[in-house]
Structure 1
């Protein structure tokens, strides 16, 4: 297929093109002032190239959905634990029939027949239609271009803005793919190899028995294994009994495949009582399960969720979306949106694991606010069904790179991470060392600029803000959703990849660790005929009595090991500091399973 490069007009450094259909009686849904950082204009696409356009209709009852979520997640409310069914949650997420009718009429006016439109109910009402580039440009009063990401040579089809008729503004939440540039390749996996931390040569020294007078196994100050974590977070003596009811899920992207042979090697080395464990891989959106390509991130996640939760059944979700290309490599034939593909796939299922961990994220500012809001509301839809969602908080402290804003002002601000900044997920930060643990320097944490601070954390966060005073006041939003919510070890995890032992760090290690612990708490509750914990944050923030200490900070939250030292520098600053009570480095602290057992029963 031959591409025709059209003349380019440049305004304020942004390449633009004349649009065939003039803007008439339309409203702008979203636009970028500049091409998002890391991407550059590559070419003009063939106008006949086709792709799937997704239209998210306005969820008129989303506030009712959030209201239900908060009631069933609040341990002081009479409805605590009365999670909704799939059908009940979908009813609260659906659009008004008028929105469906008005939007389909609009599409028909552009020559899109009803037979070309697919209506999906998962995650609210979504319309999917196969369109050509020229059709999409006319419908959305925009110009699509092919953009290239220098870091990976990845090419995507995106626009810098899009509009809808004024009359449809109340009926449409978001349309994709348009201005959200992130893809499965540009998402960050929040883990990294640590070649400077050599794997232990003497494996037996790491997995020796936990003697009565030695609560933490030898070697845990330099390398982390399941034995270290089980001792550190007090799960060693618990034996799960609700395997027929309880499940733990791991979300995988980026063609990262969890390898079963590596799991067996890992368990033989580090948890010999679990060597009969395995896991199924469930594919979403064309995901695969290539056992010849073990992934570091995937193996880290599944080895430590199973290592912490055995014999609880684990499931690995492999989400597809890496762009295939036609013979003409300049023309992308894939425009998947990473979180949208995964969560719609999960929400469509009747049975979902009670706990799911995800170790990927983006800078919040790179995600259009309309898209982030819709995805966050879809996470709430999972929560109201009794699902606990853990997301790693990121590995860039308060922000990586130059921390400059992409809103045209080019200011230097702390850069919160998404989805960790969504108030309906539980964000997990990182610690290092033992006796005592300290906040690890790369632990992502801060305050959202998209989502306001939820009431469940107001008291805990106000103590930290009082302690902080005017420090960093020009860099963050004190009224935003604060994160992380809790934390766990994040350094020197021993992982088997391709039969070899490697050392891995990152909050990607923290999130599956915490997921395993709370999966055990669900097991404990289910054994008592109690419902699973579901959306966790109202519970864990309510555990603290929030009385003031002489230093003016909050007291530690019962059930958690308070982390009082460490910081998360970034953006040319020393970042935030860990203190007594909640802080934006380690949240409420690291979990103590034994204490939490007493609090959740």
Structure 2
């Protein structure tokens, strides 16, 4: 069919006249993971002249091959099993392409940002720029607001933000934007005009960390009493831990603590005096991350000392004479978050002048009185062969982009030979404090009915550790049950992460043989998502010394450092045999080759959200 010239001119002229505005090609890149709870109130628009430290996380090369690369190194049947990569190899493998850097820079310059204001980090992973709120809102087609907590704390956030269609594939996430921290935390960037400091990851809370019922335990129970009182002797008998490390100068085991959490030296000696006399006077080796220090005099009480006391009393006792490293994260003003300790063990994860998630992490230098006024701790130590962390957050409070980018970093640590352990939480299928997800609004609430998984435990590149217990009236020589005393072991299915290949057979068998009696309205029952925890260890009735007394504590907070101690001893044996550390653990523990090393827990539930599960 012929088209008349005059019609073609009119048609093209019409198209030219209808050329869309610059924003017409924008697409939404991220939305807030969930709306703030009723404790937060929208206060006002953020002042347009306020300066924000904008960070553009660039899309990494080979990121679609993370699982493939990690499995080739970590699966016991792989011909390259145990051939871990150097930090330099990891950086080179995942650094963004030159095209990605050029596209993002060109977009910023074309939007009116002077080239000299744009900084590129050493590993090319981030582009940084200090921008006014007005500039940031223009770049991202969004609005920043101030939210006020009922405590008086304030945070900034936008509900969503957009990027040009041609730029979007080259950016993983932008911050500060939608990453609203639902629990009060000053671990994030708050402009000077809004600085009303609040809690942080390590801030005392009835939800995070071990639990106690205040019961005074028997100090030296027999093995017949381990159903009531767990001691190091109970754990040795329960898991057949009779091994003395020999490679103490080569092996490494780190435990992460977030300021203001801190052990008390007098508590350690009180515990050691009863259960490990050779350790009296010994302390973990402090690695100060972003100003983190041993601060016993400023804050005392179970909520400040319970986690650290527990972690080091048991970890140091079980791996003696192996040294244990304390990765103390954050100063007393900003505190710290997960990204901060990752920065410290992997320089490729750092960014200039901070760049961690402003609502989750400490931002350094911290110029506030008493703050850590120095560059952030970036690659200050090699990653320990095992790292245990007994802290977490509800997965719903993290956007997929934030969670995935952090999860990929755990994969990189695994490629370099590090086992990363995270406690799976203490509220069964519910989130912190027993909150679940409202199926209609997506908000966290005590009346919610949708299960609320824990992050980073849901990341498929960490080993999530749940809790068991010696069943009442039973002994350490009989099968354990899932923890159901004071706590319920956290577990379930992710709402973000796909099922990793290493657990596909085990999870599908579970879903087919023991189908949960719940629907998609209550949890992600697609059968294609990450299940957690990966393994479990005793987490009930631990005897610890705390603030000059012995008490019983409960939690996956206890299970994680105990598993870390066992893996540290496995690494010691491997090093003695001329091998390297085990690194990423999960492919091995799901492999039939290692099935005999584990007991299947068939008793108990991990209740929550009004349902047994």
Shorter-normalised TM range: 0.7 to 0.9
8 Å CA contact 1:94–1:121 kept in 2: the answer is: no
Structure 2: distance between partners of 1:299 and 1:50 = 41
* Alignment partner, residue 53 of structure 2: 52
**Superposition deviation, residue 445 in structure 1:** 0.7
- In the superposition, the TM-score normalised over structure 1's length comes to 0.80
Separation in 2 of the partners of 1:429 and 1:169?
38
The CA distance in 2 between the partners of 1:387 and 1:318, in whole Å, is 18
Q: Is the 8 A contact 1:190 1:506 kept in 2?
A: no
Q: Map 1:184-583; keep pairs closer than 5 Å.
A: 184=187, 185=199, 187=201, 190-196=208-214, 198-200=215-217, 202-203=218-219, 205-206=220-221, 217-235=223-241, 237-292=242-297, 293=299, 295-320=305-330, 338-348=337-347, 349=379, 351-400=382-431, 401=434, 403-405=436-438, 408=441, 412-433=449-470, 434=476, 435-441=478-484, 442-469=488-515, 471-474=517-520, 475-477=522-524, 478-543=527-592, 557-575=595-613
User: Per-residue deviation at 1:228?
Assistant: 1.8
Distance 1:104 1:427 in 2: 39
Deviation digits for residues 487-510 of structure 1 (CA, Å, limit 9, x no counterpart): 011122223333333322111111
C-alpha separation between the residues in 2 aligned to 1:344 and 1:486? 27
Deviations 1:118-142 (A, max 9, x none): 43356x7123333333332222222
In structure 1, C-alpha distance between the alignment counterparts of 2:119 and 2:291, rounded to whole Å? 18
Q: How many angstroms does 1:224 deviate by?
A: 1.8
* SS in structure 1 at match of 2:106: helix
Q: CA deviation at 1:481?
A: 0.7
Measure the CA separation in 2 of the matches of 1:28 and 1:239.
56
- Secondary structure, counterpart of 1:428 in structure 2: strand
* Aligned-partner Cα distance in 2 for 1:395–1:362: 12
User: Secondary structure of the residue that 1:568 maps to in structure 2?
Assistant: coil
- How far did 1:110 drift? 4.5
C-alpha separation between the residues in 2 aligned to 1:105 and 1:355?
42
> In the superposition, relative to structure 1, how do residues 341 and 61 fare at CA in structure 2: closer, same or farther (>3 Å)?
same
Q: 1:402 to 1:425 in 2, by over 3 A?
A: closer
Structure 1 runs, 4 residues or longer, greater than 6 Å off: none
The answer to whether the 8 Å contact 1:32/1:407 transfers is: no
TM-score between the two structures when normalised by the length of structure 2 = 0.79
| Farther-moved stretch of structure 1 (470-479 vs 501-510) | 470-479
What do the CA deviations read for 1:191-216 (whole angstroms, capped 9, x no partner)? Answer: 333125x132x52x24xxxxxxxxx7
The separation in 1 between residues aligned to 2:382 and 2:68, in whole angstroms, is: 23
More moved, 422-431 vs 94-103: 94-103
Secondary structure in structure 1 of the residue aligned to 2:596: coil
Alpha-carbon shift at residue 409 of structure 1 (Å): 6.3
**2:351 counterpart residue number:** none
Instruction: Structure 1: give runs of 5+ residues left out of the alignment.
Output: 1-20, 207-215, 325-335, 546-556, 576-601
| Residue 231 (structure 1) shift | 2.1
The answer to which of 220-229 and 438-447 deviates more is 220-229
SS where residue 386 of structure 1 aligns? coil
RMSD, aligned CA = 2.6
Indicate the residue corresponding to 1:11 in structure 2: none
Instruction: Tell me, yes or no, if the aligned pair for 1:36 and 1:366 is still in contact at 8 Å.
Output: no
The 1-side partners of 2:216 and 2:122 are apart by 48
| Equivalent pair of 2:33/2:399 in contact (CA under 8 Å) | no
Structure 1 residues 379 and 131: alpha-carbon distance in aligned structure 2, compared to 1, 3 A threshold: same
Does the 8 Å CA contact 2:33/2:398 hold for their aligned counterparts?
Answer: no
State whether residues 35 and 442 of structure 2, in contact with CA within 8 Å, keep that contact through their aligned partners in structure 1: no
Return the alpha-carbon distance in structure 1 between the equivalents of residues 336 and 25 of structure 2: 29
Change (3 A) 1:22 1:255: farther
Kindly tell me: are residues 234 and 116 of structure 1, through their superposed partners in 2, closer, same or farther at Cα, counting changes over 3 Å?
farther
The alignment partner of 1:167 has SS state of: coil
Cα deviations across residues 437-467 of structure 1 (Å, max 9, x unaligned)?
Answer: 1101310111112111111111111221112
Deviations 1:148-176 (CA, angstroms, capped at 9, x unpaired): 344x6543222211112222111100112
What displacement does 1:470 show? 5.8
Distance in 2, matches of 1:34 and 1:511, equals: 28
Q: Is the 8 Å Cα contact of residues 65 and 93 (structure 1) preserved in structure 2?
A: no
Structure 1 contact 258–316 (Cα < 8 Å) conserved: no
The aligned residue for residue 130 of structure 2 is 130
Correspondence 1:116-155 to 2 at 5 A:
116-120=117-121, 125-150=125-150, 153-155=152-154
Q: Runs of 5+ in structure 2 lacking a partner?
A: 1-20, 188-198, 348-378, 471-475
Distance 1:527 1:358 in 2: 26
